[in-house]
Structure 1
Amino acid sequence: MTDDRSPALDRHLLTITQRPPRVFVHGDGSWLVDDSGRRYLDLVQGWAVNSLGHSPALVAEALASQAGRLLNPGPAYYSRPMLDLARRLTELSCFDRVFLASSGAEANEGAVKLARRWGQKMKGGAHEVINFHDGFHGRTLAMMSASGKPGWDRLYAPMPTGFAKARLHDIESVRRALTPATVAVMLEFVQGEAGVNLVDAGFVRELRALCTAHDLLLIADEVQTGIGRCGTAFAYEQYGIEPDLMTLAKGIGGGVPLSALLCKERFNCFEPGDQGGTFCGNPLMAAVGLAVVNEVCRADFLADVRQRGEQLSRGLQAIARDFGCPGERGLGLLRALQLPSDDAAAVVEAASSLAPAGLLLNAPRPNLLRFMPALNISAADLDDALGLLRQALHEVWG
């Protein structure tokens, strides 16, 4: 057994984050087990990646079945899973075309490339994209420039250019950012990394109208909100508008690396060779994605997600009242609890150390906890999680 308290655990890993001193060896649904046998109820799920929980049979079966047939003929050839997943995504959405990739950042890069290619062909070389302060679109250099996370414009300077910033719920700030070189506006309907900030539906409608009036692409980054996370197949369905491009990742693969860029036919303007990638559309990941999408996007499954989202919201509201927290917010099963002080990291640590079972939480801000449980979490597990959260808050605040 590995000594999970050893400071040498990461001696062979490049230092990129501070990981807790435990090694996970097994997962089942909403639960993880480390190599000491300790169990944890997981409300992080790989940062909203494991839409069906840990090691679901559906994903394991899709992997095993496809692995025995065809892994990766290369992106220059068709495969049946690639075609079937692309068809299914267009059936479920307002889009006509699909490009499959491996990560959210890759899908978002693809969206910016497609917008710029369209700008070259249809708008006299327009290439600038308007993004929003506190937005998050990934960790490539271009997507760090596109993101509105404080300090990211200096971390790896010089950074790629062509990204302007506006403020959520301030349509005039979007107008001020417009130039003759503007080609698109890129938006998250819920800013997850910024603390689960919901975008107002009225602002989204204003933004859609502005983009239409100026012949700009509206790009929906649904990397975290798509594939059932918010209680509908895609979050845009709850805003009464249709984007021109949309990106998906995280939950679409149910735990495996898969993402997608979708567009309407009008914007299908890549020339052969403009875009690609060694693993893009490989049948192994596409087969898993198809299985996950078919499961999650059923009407009865999505109805259950909405029910569990309401249960989590009620539970967090009760905790907020009992502990003097400012409140909770979210959409579906992407929610946050705002704390009255900067104790989020202490609560995360206390929750993971509870006996006999720990609770895994995420703190994207010093005074905020984020919850991203499996979409099929049971009502009983969710009640247990809320009880454990109460214990952790008592541990920190007495």
Structure 2
Amino acid sequence: MASNALMNNYGTRAITVTKGSGSWLWDDQGKKYLDAISGIAVCGLGHAHPAVTAALSEQAATLVHASNLYNLQPQEQLAEKLRALSSMDNMFFANSGAEANEAAIKLARLHGNNKGIAVPTIVVMDNAFHGRTMATLTATGNPKVQLGFTPCLDGFVRVPFGDADAVEAAVKSNPNIVAVLVEPIQGEGGIHTPNDDYLKQLRTLCDNHDLLLMLDEIQTGNGRTGKYFAYQHADILPDVLTTAKGLGNGVPIGVCMASGKASQLMQPGSHGSTFGGNPLACSVGLAVVDTLQKDNLAERAAQLGEQLQHQLRERLSQCPHFVEVRGKGLMIGIELTHPCAQLVAAAAAKGLLITVTAERVIRLLPPLNLTDNEASLLVDTLVTLIEEFSS
């Protein structure tokens, strides 16, 4: 029974989880579930990973917090690791993806104000999701998320996702535009993947107009799509890059990275965080990054994601409610012809945890170290579920 001491913003939750191991969760009744959402793309190493447990235990016994008034070795070490992986110049550590995106938005406004632009404006996308703070809520392209929280902030214009020409038209018609903020793949929006040249087109456009190209890789980063960061599929470098979720494997952490001109915008006193970059979170981040690299889990995500998409496409091809499978790596969406939110409870009854987003898209975000047997079980259970839904 859920406690009424909690606010009701999450609604009624039917399952009480009590422990996890690898790709599996258990509830308070002892029922076992294959976790195909990983805490919504967070637990890329699965649950209770020994490297994460060891990092938490060792750092907690040494130093949990000392504030950013001082140099913190785990923070500096993680920054160096991420710089090597991303080719970005420097970074600011926060506690979540929303906070990392807030920092990105502040960088864009600094860039605009330094140019003498009175209302620095950021191009954002239809169906985007960037967080639930007031600035990231405004950047998010979902009216349901914004409902009840208006007025939203000034300084944002919206265009269709995947349409570089629409971005260019907005830039030419609005001299206040200073940045473009985009997800390489839209997650909450329905696992939408743009054309292969989309990010390259945006990079060229931003270069031509002195705009910051800002990529939200909160969900796509940390090996999820088959590269460490999704923009690496396009062979470009953004000016600003954010990530979170999979970086901490369940421990709250976010990071906003900057390169080139964007890396010099923050000055002493211009931004800060009490808990951001604390030794505990950064030690876990180091363990996660090291494990992702040592176990080649980005490559595993690419291989297994291709396998899962092929199997799902093949086995669902004759299903009347099936539209398509799309995604990259282990970020997969299965679109159906009808709203299918009821499949979440139906899947849980079969011992499988999934989510449905954009009303008609089953979203799969399993651990990157999902085994072949677990992948087969996932496909078998899901195909049966969709066939029953379509009958």
Q: TM-score, normalised by structure 2?
A: 0.95
Which of 179, 196, 199 is the aligned partner of 1:184?
Answer: 179
Q: Distance in 1 between matches of 2:358 and 2:229?
A: 25
Q: Distance in 2 between matches of 1:375 and 1:388?
A: 19
Tell me the secondary structure at the aligned position of residue 120 of structure 1: helix
In the TM superposition, what is the alpha-carbon distance from 1:18 to its structure 2 partner? 2.8
Tell me the secondary structure at the aligned position of residue 288 of structure 1: helix
Percent of aligned pairs sharing the same letter: 36
In the alignment, residue 272 of structure 1 is paired with which amino acid?
Answer: P
In the TM superposition, what is the alpha-carbon distance from 1:310 to its structure 2 partner? 1.4
Q: Distance in 2 between matches of 1:204 and 1:49?
A: 24
Q: Structure 1: which 5+ residue stretches go unaligned?
A: 1-5
How many pairs were matched up? 387
In the alignment, residue 133 of structure 1 is paired with which amino acid?
Answer: D
In the alignment, residue 135 of structure 1 is paired with which amino acid?
Answer: A
Which of 323, 326, 329 is the aligned partner of 1:326?
Answer: 323
Tell me the secondary structure at the aligned position of residue 342 of structure 2: helix
* Partner residue in 2 for 1:352: 348
Quickly say closer, same or farther: Cα 1:154–1:394, change in 2 above 3 A. Answer: closer
**Structure 2 counterparts to residues 304-315 of structure 1, below 5 A:** 304-315=300-311
Q: Distance in 1 between matches of 2:254 and 2:140?
A: 18
Which whole-Å deviations, capped at 9, do the CAs of 1:155-210 have from their partners, x for residues lacking one? 31111110111112333321332222111000101000010000212222221111
Q: Does 1:396 align with 2:389?
A: yes
Q: Does 1:382 align with 2:378?
A: no
* Partner residue in 1 for 2:58: 65
In the TM superposition, what is the alpha-carbon distance from 1:297 to its structure 2 partner? 3.3
Which of 32, 41, 46 is the aligned partner of 2:39?
Answer: 46
Q: Does 1:363 align with 2:359?
A: no
* Partner residue in 1 for 2:285: 289
Give the root-mean-square deviation of aligned CA atoms: 1.5
In the alignment, residue 334 of structure 2 is paired with which amino acid?
Answer: L
Q: Distance in 2 between matches of 1:18 and 1:315?
A: 34
Q: Does 1:93 align with 2:90?
A: no
In the TM superposition, what is the alpha-carbon distance from 1:98 to its structure 2 partner? 1.1
In the TM superposition, what is the alpha-carbon distance from 1:323 to its structure 2 partner? 1.9
In the TM superposition, what is the alpha-carbon distance from 1:286 to its structure 2 partner? 0.3
In the TM superposition, what is the alpha-carbon distance from 1:315 to its structure 2 partner? 2.1
* Partner residue in 2 for 1:164: 157
* Partner residue in 2 for 1:134: 127
Q: Structure 2: which 5+ residue stretches go unaligned?
A: none
Q: Distance in 1 between matches of 2:214 and 2:45?
A: 27
Which whole-Å deviations, capped at 9, do the CAs of 1:303-342 have from their partners, x for residues lacking one? 2221111121122212321423111000000001111322
Which of 222, 243, 247 is the aligned partner of 2:242?
Answer: 247
**For the Cα contact (< 8 Å) 2:312–2:383, is it kept in 1?**
no
* Partner residue in 1 for 2:219: 224
Tell me the secondary structure at the aligned position of residue 103 of structure 2: helix
Q: Does 1:74 align with 2:67?
A: yes
Q: Does 1:338 align with 2:335?
A: yes
In the TM superposition, what is the alpha-carbon distance from 1:280 to its structure 2 partner? 1.0
Q: Distance in 2 between matches of 1:365 and 1:117?
A: 34
